[in-house]
C-alpha cells in the first residue's frame, strides 16, 4: 500500500484482493463511493478525488487488467464489486454508491440488482443490456464471444455481437450506431 496526499485528501494505493486507489479526507462522511471506469481500464483517481473533496470516501477500483485479474472484460466476477463494498463498509461507510462510466456503468447497474447493500448508482453512459466480452479472459481466450460478467461462477446471459456488422466511417470516425441497432 502506497499512501500520499492531494488537496487535503489521503490517497492509498491498494493491491491484493482489492486493486485500485482509496481517497478520503479526515472529516469524510459515512458515504462510500466505488468509482468504475469503462473499457479503458484506467483507475479513475481524478473522479475519486473530486468525490472525496466533496466529503465521500471513494474507491477508484481496478476491476480488470491488474495482477491476478482478467486482462480484458471477460466473465468478470461481479463478486469483485461486492468485495469493494465490503472494503468500504469495513472503512465505516454506511451508504454505498457506485459511479460507473460506460462498461463500468453496466457493472454498477448489475451489482445494484444483486447486492442489496448498494444504495445508489450513478450510471454515466450506461447500456440497458449485458454485452459480450471486450478482450480475453483469464484463460487468454477472447473468441468465441462470452459474457462480460459472471456471478457465483456462472456467466451471465448476454447480447452477442452482430458478426455481419460492417464498419461505417463518418467524418473520419467509426460510427458504431448500426452495431447496436
Output the pLDDT for position 176. 76
Q: Cα 175–71–139 angle (5° rounding)?
A: 115
| Average pLDDT value for residue range 21-34 | 97
Q: What is the enclosing helix (H) or strand (E) of 106? A: helix 103-114
SS3 state of residue 159: strand
Output the pLDDT for position 165. 82
Q: Considering the entire predicted model, what is its pTM?
A: 0.89
Q: Taking the domains of the chain in order of start, what are their residue ranges?
A: 2-180
Q: Evaluate if residue 169 carries a pLDDT over 60.
A: yes
From CA 158, how far away is CA 54, in angstroms rounded?
36
CATH number for the domain formed by residue range(s) 2-180: 3.40.50.1820
From CA 81, how far away is CA 62, in angstroms rounded?
10
Q: Evaluate if residue 47 carries a pLDDT over 90.
A: yes
| Residue positions counted in the chain | 181
Name which of 30, 56, 23, 39 is nearest 107 in CA terms: 39
Q: Evaluate if residue 5 carries a pLDDT over 60.
A: no
Encode pLDDT of 97-140 as tens digits: 999 999 999 999 999 999 999 999 999 999 999 999 999 999 99
- The answer to whether the peptide bond before residue 164 is cis (omega within 30 degrees of 0) is no
β-sheet with 76-77: strand ranges across: 76-77, 149-151, 154-155
Q: Cα 99–104–105 angle (5° rounding)?
A: 60
C-alpha cell at 134: 471486450
Amino acid at each position: 500500500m502506497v499512501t500520499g496526499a492531494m488537496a487535503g485528501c489521503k490517497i492509498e494505493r491498494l493491491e491484493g484482493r482489492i486493486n485500485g486507489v482509496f481517497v478520503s479526507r479526515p472529516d469524510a462522511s459515512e458515504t462510500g463511493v466505488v468509482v468504475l471506469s469503462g473499457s479503458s481500464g484506467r483507475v479513475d483517481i481524478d473522479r475519486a478525488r473530486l468525490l472525496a473533496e466533496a466529503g465521500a470516501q471513494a474507491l477508484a477500483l481496478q476491476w480488470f487488467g491488474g495482477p491476478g485479474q482478467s486482462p480484458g472484460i471477460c466473465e468478470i466476477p461481479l463478486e469483485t464489486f461486492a468485495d469493494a463494498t465490503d472494503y468500504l463498509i469495513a472503512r465505516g461507510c454506511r451508504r454505498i454508491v457506485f459511479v460507473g462510466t460506460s462498461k463500468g456503468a453496466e457493472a454498477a447497474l448489475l451489482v445494484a440488482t444483486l447486492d442489496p447493500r448498494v444504495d445508489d448508482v450513478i450510471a454515466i453512459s450506461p447500456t440497458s443490456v449485458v454485452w459480450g466480452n471486450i478482450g480475453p479472459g483469464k484463460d487468454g481466450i477472447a473468441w468465441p464471444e462470452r459474457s462480460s460478467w459472471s456471478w457465483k461462477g456462472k456467466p451471465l446471459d448476454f447480447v452477442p455481437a452482430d458478426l455481419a456488422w460492417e464498419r461505417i466511417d463518418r467524418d473520419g470516425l467509426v460510427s458504431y450506431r448500426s452495431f447496436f441497432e
